[in-house]
A and B are shown apart, each in its own frame.
Chain A
Amino acid sequence: GNSVTQMEGPVTLSEEAFLTINCTYTATGYPSLFWYVQYPGEGLQLLLKATKADDKGSNKGFEATYRKETTSFHLEKGSVQVSDSAVYFCALSDPGDFNKFYFGSGTKLNVKP
């Protein structure tokens, strides 16, 4: 079946530190992969996505590469800011099942000044 596993949080970093949030997946078909961000009290916003192997999604300094050989989609940012503090969700969509989304459990990021 389909599932997404994310590293447990919270992750606490100082401003300008390097960020990695690990995400691995299992899938029956050829999924698309997504990272969403949820700021306190708000809904989820798309951060980036990739639709096939070796694609790199990027946005606002965040990057993730679709690695089929390691079934991973790790999120990275070279220099985090306090404003990046939020919960980050990795997700996959299964095009063979009405694009049903499967979300990871979320990773809370705290960035300290």
Chain B
Amino acid sequence: NAGVTQTPKFQVLKTGQSMTLQCAQDMNHEYMSWYRQDPGMGLRLIHYSVGAGITDQGEVPNGYNVSRSTTEDFPLRLLSAAPSQTSVYFCASSYSKGGRRYFGSGTRLTVV
């Protein structure tokens, strides 16, 4: 019973590098989201998806891309990493709009 799986758990990038944070869920949830967590700011929504092929922007989408080709996967792409993107990233999924969110264990990203 895996739930929401995020990889990698830790990553260090150099400024300007690109990478993809992976998120997969095995609960057949339609709703998936990406958040970043920074001290004193709680979790801020980056992008979200309400189903395969449908994505939309959250509060802080700049510098990030997403796609949703399958129900299970919702990868987050950093196009050109910047030190301001140093953060902890969480992926979440839910069965319905108001339903309980299941969170992954997070990816700690450092951009130097």
A-B complex is real:
no
> Chain A residues in contact with chain B, CB under 8 A?
none
